[in-house]
Amino acid sequence: MSQATFGDDELFGEAANEMREDVETSLADAWAALPDADDVWEADADNVLGVLNGLNSALNAGDAEDHLRDAKKWFTMGQRADAFDDADDLEAEIADLEDAIADISDAEEQVGELTTTIPALRGTLEDAGPDTEADDEADATDEDGDEAEA
């Protein structure tokens, strides 16, 4: 059996190319894992709470954070090994992806807060106003009138 000989530079170059491909693949997977813009923009609900719950579900970065972590791990390793001839494009894309994930996370947090605030606000508004005997009597008359018509 003959043994192929490879120079260290050739092997290093091949490894550097594979590392760059791994970073690019992880970045592509991360972008693909982000929520679809239409899912965030469009709503199908009967009330505000339904819209907020739907939006909260849509605002999930999902596996994008894991893919970003993989991309950063291989990118950092490649940079420290000085394996990339030009890594500015990868670095810029990583930063853009980090910003997008941070924006999604911030929006998810704000929507989550509204999801708990809106029902409480509704209850407050329903209970707001003076509670008088006249209101109670009007309610009783309406109830009696509705029953008489039935």
Convert the pLDDT of each residue in 38-92 to its tens digit: 999 998 999 999 999 999 999 998 899 999 999 999 999 999 988 888 899 999 9
pLDDT beyond 90 at 6: no
The more confident residue out of 96 and 84 is 96
| Contacts by residues 85-91 (CB-CB < 8 Å, ≥ 24 positions apart) | 87/20, 90/20, 90/23, 90/24, 90/27
Domain boundaries, the chain: 9-124
